[in-house]
Amino acid sequence: MGGLIIFLIVLLIITIGGTLLVGLQESKTLKKHKEEDTAESQLERSLNYESSSLKSNLPILGIIYLVTFLAATAGIIIYFFF
């Protein structure tokens, strides 16, 4: 029982770390864009962001939360049935 709790705490820490990593990537990108701020670059960035953000950030976050959900579900099942 104690091992399961430790496992879930470690998983939570990894999940939070992954989420923060994605946030830091976005912050770096935003900082870079503020430095080169022209109307044309803003338009180009906006168009690129709409397609690239969905292709890069959502899959990473989806994997993070899917793994967390599956591990938490397994933990609950182990807790109640074993």
pLDDT tens digit sequence for 2-56: 787 888 888 889 889 988 988 898 888 888 877 877 888 788 878 887 777 777 7
Task: Give the integer Cα–Cα distance in Å for 16 and 25.
Answer: 14
Instruction: Indicate the number of domains in the chain.
Output: 1
Question: Measured on CA atoms in the order 61, 63, 64, 66, is the torsion positive or negative?
Answer: positive
Rounded distance between C-alpha atoms, residue 19 and residue 13, angstroms: 10
Report the C-alpha gap between 36 and 32 in whole angstroms.
Answer: 7
Domain that holds residue 53: 2-81
25: CB partners within 8 A, 6+ apart:
57
Kindly report the pTM of this predicted structure: 0.54
Across 46-70, average pLDDT: 82
pLDDT of residue 1: 67
